[in-house]
Structure 1
Amino acid sequence: MAGPSSRPGLWPIDADPGRSADAIAFTHRLGGLMLVENDTDNDLPALELRGLRRVFGDKVAVDDIDLTVPVGSFFGMVGPNGAGKTTALSMAVGLLRPSAGQAFVQGIDVWSDPVEAKRRLGVLPDGLALPERLTGGELLTYWGRFRGIPSDVVAARTAELLRILELEEAEQLGTLVGEYSTGMRKKIGLATALLHTPKVLVLDEPYEAVDPVSARVLTRILRRFTATGGSVVISSHVMALVEQLCDHVAIVARGEVVAQGTLDEVRAGATLEDRFVALVGAPAVDDEELSWIGG
């Protein structure tokens, strides 16, 4: 298979991320599709949540969250299990209707103009349900055609995504998505999120159950994405991962944002884990409790 810069319809994942804006625009004019197209919306936040709230019965899952994700940032949302991260992100991308509040993608209201908002969004939701009786290639082909992408472009992007995400062998063997491991399902989910060249990626626990080698591949792709002007939002409760990857962070607890800003601002001279524990709190464990362990 020829390199991505030599074939029309592919975007240069392997290209130099240090290219100038003029060089990127020139590549696009030549017909090469990139991870992110240049646009004039750089003065708007990539993702903005205003007073977002969700109530289930008498339980407040998300309590008037305000959040701003700058353009070009690698943004991490961290919090304990049940903090409201998944619920907030589901409302932010149009998967769950909020009880109150608004969500904007590059200034587009997700709920009043969902079609335009979702053109700009690539989403890997928690517990992504995928067709079980298709191969990864068939899934991407159908996904691309549903999005109205020309068939030759879909074929080229599908081949490249399967190769780079190390799913090519499974495709050659005819492995169905229902037979994929959890890590493979994460990768094919990321491929569906990237296929239509979105400008903002929202990924819920993208590294969960992904082996270290595949995690490096994912990281490389996401860093290329932000290097070309895209914005990435990930949720996680693995502090070391977020600290390694992200330049902006929000800490969520009890349905509220308790801190947000650049990584250094949120850490405030400590580690992210220490700041997280200080803000969220940790249950006390008495020395006498569970004394039978190891006895």
Structure 2
Amino acid sequence: MGGGAMTTMLCFDSVDKSYGDLEVLRSVNLEIGSGVECLVGRNGAGKTTLMRLGLGLTEPNGGTVRMFGFDPRVHPEVMARVGILLEEDELFDFLRPLEFLDYCAALYGLDAGEARARAVDLLEALEVPASGRLCHQLSTGNRRQLALAAALLHEPELLILDEPFNGLDPVAVARLCRMLRDFAANGRGVLLSSHRLELVEEIADQVYFVADCAVTPWSPERVKTWYDELRVAGAGEKPPGELTG
């Protein structure tokens, strides 16, 4: 990453989140800016909840969330600056891939001709068939990549991706890693969650470990330590230093 002050795109200030009696996040303070930033942790630790809070899809019990300086629940228009890939693909199964992206372009108010050209380029780059098959006839990997194309269509400043490598073959995984690095190279930001620790180590500028209601900064090197210890121990109960203690 280059030098200079980081522009904060997404900010969590003393954020708490519970579901009934189940406390998920406690006093989370986090700023997301340019570069590739990754959330790691066990299932149910709160990674998806943190992303949904950032997107304004769920309300914190305490603290504030700001997307480009605004509460996304009060100012949903700020989400036009964000590309979103959730773990559940939101596709219209009765449309073909290019038709689906045309629909997304209309929702964003994009110029139809320019958006169509970009959609064709994205589908070609991601090796998703533009026509012929309906969305529900696509493979799991192609559905995932079509959802990614929709997230990139309006050229956002920030990508928020929940388990983006799920369902992808090795070629698609390598391509996505390159795309994310290229996306973040021009001052844009990526926040993603993943269990693929070897990929996190490869692409992340900053890592956050989510566990015990807290979000703790980790370096990519520490992720490698954890990954190596997990492979040796064959369990994922604890972070580095505790598995062997």
Q: TM-score range by the shorter chain?
A: 0.7 to 0.9
The equivalences for 1:20-169 within 5 A come to 43-71=6-34, 73-116=35-78, 118-167=79-128
Q: Pick the aligned partner of 2:130 from 165, 171, 189.
A: 171
- CA positional deviation for 1:156: 0.7
- Structure number with greater Rg is 1
The equivalences for 1:214-293 within 5 A come to 214-257=172-215, 259-264=216-221, 267=222, 271-273=225-227, 274=229, 277-278=238-239
Q: Is the 8 A contact 2:33 2:188 kept in 1?
A: no
1:195 aligns with 2:162: no
The C-alpha deviation readout for 1:69-120, integer Å capped at 9, x for no partner, is 232x11010000110100110111122222222222233332332212x021
Q: Give the share of equivalent positions with the same residue, in percent.
A: 33
Greater Cα offset, 202-211 or 119-128: 119-128
Q: Is the 8 A contact 1:243 1:272 kept in 2?
A: no
Distance 1:136 1:281, change over 3 A: farther
Q: Is the 8 A contact 2:90 2:147 kept in 1?
A: no
Q: Which residue of 2 aligns with 1:35?
A: none
Alpha-carbon distance in structure 2 between the residues aligned to 1:191 and 1:281: 40
Distance 1:43 1:76, change over 3 A: closer
TM-score, L = length of structure 1: 0.73
Alpha-carbon distance in structure 1 between the residues aligned to 2:133 and 2:13: 43
- CA positional deviation for 1:278: 3.0
Q: Structure 1 unaligned runs (5+)?
A: 1-41, 283-295
Q: Is the 8 A contact 2:226 2:240 kept in 1?
A: no
TM-score, L = length of structure 2: 0.87
Distance 1:278 1:272, change over 3 A: closer
Q: Which residue of 2 aligns with 1:3?
A: none
Q: Structure 2 unaligned runs (5+)?
A: 231-235
The C-alpha deviation readout for 1:245-279, integer Å capped at 9, x for no partner, is 1010000013321x215435xx29x7243498336
Aligned pairs, how many?
A: 234
Alpha-carbon distance in structure 1 between the residues aligned to 2:242 and 2:98: 45
The C-alpha deviation readout for 1:209-257, integer Å capped at 9, x for no partner, is 1001111221121111011211111101222111111010000013321
Q: Which residue of 1 aligns with 2:163?
A: 205
Distance 1:280 1:61, change over 3 A: farther
